[in-house]
Structure 1
């Protein structure tokens, strides 16, 4: 996809055209947000804002027709790109993604209640085991509420993840054009502080104690840890010189053993925040030749 990045960077007009067209085509708004992120990272704001506006226009069309996804992802991509540009550290876009996700998950619903009810009924119909349990009406209502909250949290997490992937793609494009291998080294150094793992533990304890209103955040809170785990694994593969087959196997397992792999990734990232595996696995510096001695 490097050719697309080269085309975008030829002129502001071409960048605006690509950002607008990909935002208008369903399911291609990740590309549109990535174009905006690339321009935001590389150009001055006076040149980047028109490109962002070109992506916002189709987003507004979708927004007023009931789908805020395009507008949300592009807006978050801009926020994340600005933080990465200023701080040169991937933890800040992750923190911003968490903050944006918390606000979205707790403030509005992504799909109408009627559709939530239909999806819930479809879930029950596809699992005869539920009917055999004989739930009472109030229990059925509680299950529907839990389902609604978790579904809203999953959709919110997907929006945040899409914006972060857009930023990664935009940063990768920037590295391919101007600084080869820059993105890989930068992303593979990502490591969350130990307090984030403690935050997850505290959140789970609070949720377990009965704060059901926080259920929409359950899929969201582990997301930075999962991304940090991927950064760690990519970094270890590079440091140790392993075959890329193992990375492909990991992504394949994400498709077929997702719940277990996610738990494993969260645990790996939490351990890394305490132990810093990359520093432990990095080869020792070459011995001094003594030329600096007096």
Structure 2
């Protein structure tokens, strides 16, 4: 992957070629988004916007022909995060912007991509119908076809998550090429202010209380908090000298179990008040002779 970034940064037209070639594909659009973010972080808003402008063309063509706005949403969302990071030089602020990216993506999807939402609702309905037929009539009470409002929230949250991942990849590339090891220390130190964390947590709780349709929208607000939780886990692993196997096991648990997701969010919210990293470092110093 570093070789890909190195190729892109050897000239603007190489970066443009990679971004345009990948932005018209649902499977590889993350490459174009990360390349555009890397150019933005390294060379500034103007060159980054130039890449995004041309890379948007195949993404728009895909949206027009297939009705799938995922590549375009990811490209624009990642560019917004990269622009925030470039202008503010604050990873925390860039990660916080992902919540806005998720909500805005969901709203735009709800307004501009009705056909896609209808198709997704139909696919989910057919799948759930097959599952219910296999499981019996008792499963009908539990399983419900997601509404378009719920699906739009899901797509917004997914875009927010993917945009953060593409930004992290771009920042990793930038550090690997020009400042080895810089992104790791920057990520492990990631922390949100108390007021911001409380606002995100209360907003997510309020949306969840409105009903099942709004839970997917609450997920967008929890993306920054979740990223802070991952930063805490990486900081703890680094302090204790844990290997990649430990982190891999943690990510597997997080993917498989909702309880692990909630625990990570709670851990990150509590960190806004407690500052676990400062406590861990202090305890580590006390342990040394």
Alpha-carbon distance in structure 1 between the residues aligned to 2:35 and 2:62: 19
- Paired position in structure 2 for 1:23: 23
- Paired position in structure 2 for 1:160: 160
Alpha-carbon distance in structure 1 between the residues aligned to 2:284 and 2:208: 47
Deviation at 1:32, TM superposition (A): 0.5
Deviation at 1:99, TM superposition (A): 1.1
Aligned length: 279
- Paired position in structure 2 for 1:132: 138
Indicate the larger mover: 109-118 or 184-193: 109-118
**SS of structure 2 residue aligned to 1:206:** helix
- Contact 1:2 / 1:173 at 8 angstroms: preserved in 2? yes
- Paired position in structure 2 for 1:123: 128
Deviation digits for residues 168-187 of structure 1 (CA, Å, limit 9, x no counterpart):
11110000000011111111
Deviation at 1:284, TM superposition (A): 7.7
Change (3 A) 1:148 1:57: closer
Change (3 A) 1:45 1:134: closer
Unaligned regions of 5+ residues in structure 1, if any?
287-294
- Contact 2:105 / 2:159 at 8 angstroms: preserved in 1? no
- Paired position in structure 2 for 1:262: 261
**SS of structure 1 residue aligned to 2:206:** helix
- Paired position in structure 2 for 1:112: 117
CA RMSD of the aligned region, Å? 2.7
- Contact 2:5 / 2:173 at 8 angstroms: preserved in 1? yes
Alpha-carbon distance in structure 2 between the residues aligned to 1:134 and 1:169: 42
Alpha-carbon distance in structure 2 between the residues aligned to 1:80 and 1:204: 21
- Paired position in structure 1 for 2:193: 193
- Paired position in structure 1 for 2:4: 4
- Paired position in structure 1 for 2:13: 13
Deviation at 1:254, TM superposition (A): 2.9
- Paired position in structure 1 for 2:223: 223
- Asked if residue 281 in structure 1 is aligned to residue 286 in structure 2, the reply is no
Deviation digits for residues 228-271 of structure 1 (CA, Å, limit 9, x no counterpart):
1111111111122222221011122233x231211111111111
Change (3 A) 1:63 1:208: closer
Alpha-carbon distance in structure 2 between the residues aligned to 1:197 and 1:43: 31
Indicate the larger mover: 195-204 or 223-232: 195-204
- Paired position in structure 2 for 1:150: 150
Alpha-carbon distance in structure 1 between the residues aligned to 2:126 and 2:26: 27
- Asked if residue 180 in structure 1 is aligned to residue 160 in structure 2, the reply is no
- Contact 2:253 / 2:260 at 8 angstroms: preserved in 1? yes
Higher Rg of the two aligned structures: 1
Deviation at 1:198, TM superposition (A): 2.8
Structure with more of its chain in helix, by fraction: 2
